[in-house]
Amino acid sequence: MALVAAVGVTLSVLQLSNLIDSLSATAIALSKLASQETFSLLQERLGQHAADYATAKTREDFRDVTYNIISHDEEVGVMLLKTMAVTDYLVDINVARTSGEILASSDPQRVGSMMVPLQDLEIWSKRGFVKRFRDLINRRTDFQILLSAGENNQDINVQVVTSTVFLRDALLAQISRLALVFGGALLITLFVTVLGTDRVLQPVKRIERTIDRIAQGADRKDSEGKTLAKEFAVVESKLNLLGAQFRGAQDHATELRGNIDKLLERMASQLDVAARLAAISKLTNGVAHEIKNPLNAIALHLDLLREKAGAPDEELEKEIDILSNEVRRLNRVVKTFLDFSRPVDVHFQDADLAALAKEVVDLMMPQARSARISLALVAPLEPAHLRADPDMIKQAILNLMTNAMEAMKDGGELRVQVGRPEGAVSLEIADSGPGIPQQLRDKVFQLYFTTKTRGSGIGLAMTYRAVQLHNGTIAFDSEEGKGTTFRLQFPAVVQNA
């Protein structure tokens, strides 16, 4: 019911707005028509006094003659009254000098007085509905349509005045009819709603009474004593079906709630692990700094000890060299750890994985030739777009290619292939080296792990971190004596056409 009333009020407001627009447009049209007709009649009257212009030489002379004719011609006032009688919307018609002095008027008492500037009717008609409605209902306001003419050296202003009083009377008549229509429609709607609701709810009430009798174990008879076996059986069947569906939905909701609880517990556990890892990282960074300072002091004092000892014997020199080498090794390990654990600033942008791979291949081509390695790049015709930090991705590719080339000491083949599987872009780096022994494969991505005598053990760890930061995956296959293939995969970016 409230919805019907709201719709009715909305439609009524729209209708009122249209009525005010229509009344305003009518008043403007009639005012303009009256001003144009007045000006035409003035021109006609002035034309009948053409002989009076014989002595006029300048524009001022023509204007003075015009003013004199209009102010003394009694027919002009009569003409203005006749024009007023055409419509009920007009209050006054004034003909005035450019200075504002009224020469002729539909109200003779205004002749000789100054014309009062009024609000322009066209400007008022463009205001909001609420402002115009308030003006029409609450107060009387006069408006004007002003026509200024300067043809034939005759400077005349024609002012047509209308009032909200006339517009209000027309509007109130329309509002009365609208109120009757709206009230009647509301009463009819109320009657239909009450009657229709009662008829619609009758079957529901019968079902409710039937369910109550079933629940109470009553005889399957209606109020007249007739057996309702068929109806009861249908209702019981439907209720049993609904009950089974409800229990299934309830069980599913319970299971879903349990899964959500488990997921929340897992997320809480992961957040706790992340917090612990962050704390451990902070602690290890501090420990690394604390280790680095004593190492620097030990190295400095070893150098001082070597200088103070002068030329120590060969055995003492050997021991000092061992200590110095170990200190430098520990210092290098600590420095590498600090570099690796430092937060990484990733600058993501749109990139082409094939183009990045080509840059690294071109860079490594001279080194591959000198090492007797056949280096080949296989890339698709279409770009392999992804969101990435180009420098970080190129460094990851460079690390993998460098490891592969160092593994092929006697030359071999190195193939770099870019692919575009569905929804992703991929990169494969395959070598024909000796492969990775089975017992070492679980340690490949560990920090500091290396099988090279002069390796730092950080290259593959940095590659793994770079792939993770790009929401990608990295895996490898290796067969001893036949080579190793590393596979990197990243989410693809769809380029707009």
What CA–CA distances, in Å, run from 165 to 2, 117, 200, 448?
Answer: 35, 19, 51, 95
**DSSP H or E segment with residue 128:** none
Q: What are the helix (H) ranges across 49-140?
A: 59-72, 74-84, 121-125, 129-138
Q: Which amino acid is at 325?
A: N
- Please state, in angstroms and rounded to a whole number, the distance separating the CA atoms of residues 210 and 215: 9
The closest alpha carbon to 445, from 433, 459, 461, belongs to 461
CA 323/CA 358 separation, integer angstroms: 45
Per-residue confidence (pLDDT) for residue 201, from 0 to 100:
62
Task: Give the DSSP letter of residue 435.
Answer: -
Contacts of 419 (CB under 8 A, 6+ apart): 380, 384, 425, 426, 427, 428
Radius of gyration of the chain (CA): 50
Q: Any idea which residue has 């340690």 for tokens?
A: 443
Neighbouring C-beta atoms of residue 89, cutoff 10 Å = 22
State the residue for tokens 């296959």. 477
| pLDDT attached to residue 52 | 72
State the pairing for strand pair 142-149/119-120: parallel
**CA 31 vs CA 53, 143, 159, 161: distances in Å:** 31, 10, 9, 8
CB-based contacts of 20, cutoff 8 Å, min separation 6: 129, 132, 133, 136, 167, 171
165 vs 142: CA distance, rounded Å: 9
Residue type, 32: K
What's the CATH class of domain 349-491?
alpha beta
At 364 the pLDDT is: 92
The confidence score (pLDDT) of residue 231 equals: 57
Say which DSSP state 55 is in. Answer: T
For residue 438, the SS3 value is helix
**Residue 28 carries which side chain, given as an amino acid letter?**
I
* 3-state secondary structure at position 479: strand
DSSP 148-181: EE-GGG--EEEEEEEEHHHHHHHHHHHHHHHHHH
DSSP for 298-366? Answer: HHHHHHHHHHHT-S--HHHHHHHHHHHHHHHHHHHHHHHHHHHHSPP----EEEEHHHHHHHHHHHHHH
Return the pLDDT at 205: 65
Token readout for 296 is: 């620097």
Instruction: Write down the pLDDT at residue 387.
Output: 93
Residue span(s) of the chain under CATH 3.30.565.10 come to 349-491
Walk along the chain (497 residues) and give the pLDDT tens digit of each residue: 555 556 556 766 676 777 777 777 877 787 788 778 887 887 777 777 767 766 767 778 777 777 887 877 777 778 888 777 767 777 788 888 878 888 888 788 888 888 888 888 788 778 777 777 777 777 677 878 887 765 544 578 888 888 777 666 666 666 666 667 667 766 777 777 766 666 666 666 666 666 666 555 555 555 555 555 565 566 667 766 776 777 788 888 888 888 888 878 777 765 664 555 455 455 555 555 566 667 677 777 777 777 766 656 666 677 777 777 777 767 666 666 666 666 667 889 999 999 999 999 999 999 999 999 999 999 998 999 999 999 989 999 998 999 899 889 889 999 999 999 988 999 999 999 999 888 888 877 776 666 665 555 677 888 888 898 899 999 999 998 889 999 999 999 877 65
- Concatenated DSSP letters of 195-230: HHHHHHHHHHHHHHHHHHHHHHT--SB-TT--B-HH
Check residue 290 and give its pLDDT: 60
Q: What is the pTM of this model?
A: 0.39
Q: What's the CA gap between 25 and 91, in Å, rounded?
A: 17
pLDDT computed for residue 475 by the predictor: 92
* Whole-number Å distance between alpha carbons of 312 and 320: 10
3-state secondary structure of 408: coil
Residue with tokens 């997921």: 263
Report d(CA 230, CA 214) in Å as an integer. Answer: 13
- Tell me the two tokens of residue 310: 């002068």
Q: Are strands 412-419 and 373-378 parallel, antiparallel or unpaired?
A: parallel
Can you state the angle between helices 459-469 and 390-407, rounded to 10 degrees?
150
Q: What is the reported pLDDT for 269?
A: 62
Tokens of 2: 């409230």
Do the beta carbons of residue 220 and residue 228 sit within 8 Å?
Answer: yes
CA–CA distance, 78 with 88 (Å, rounded to integer): 17
CA distance 457 to 455: 6
Helix (H) / strand (E) element for 465: namely helix 459-469
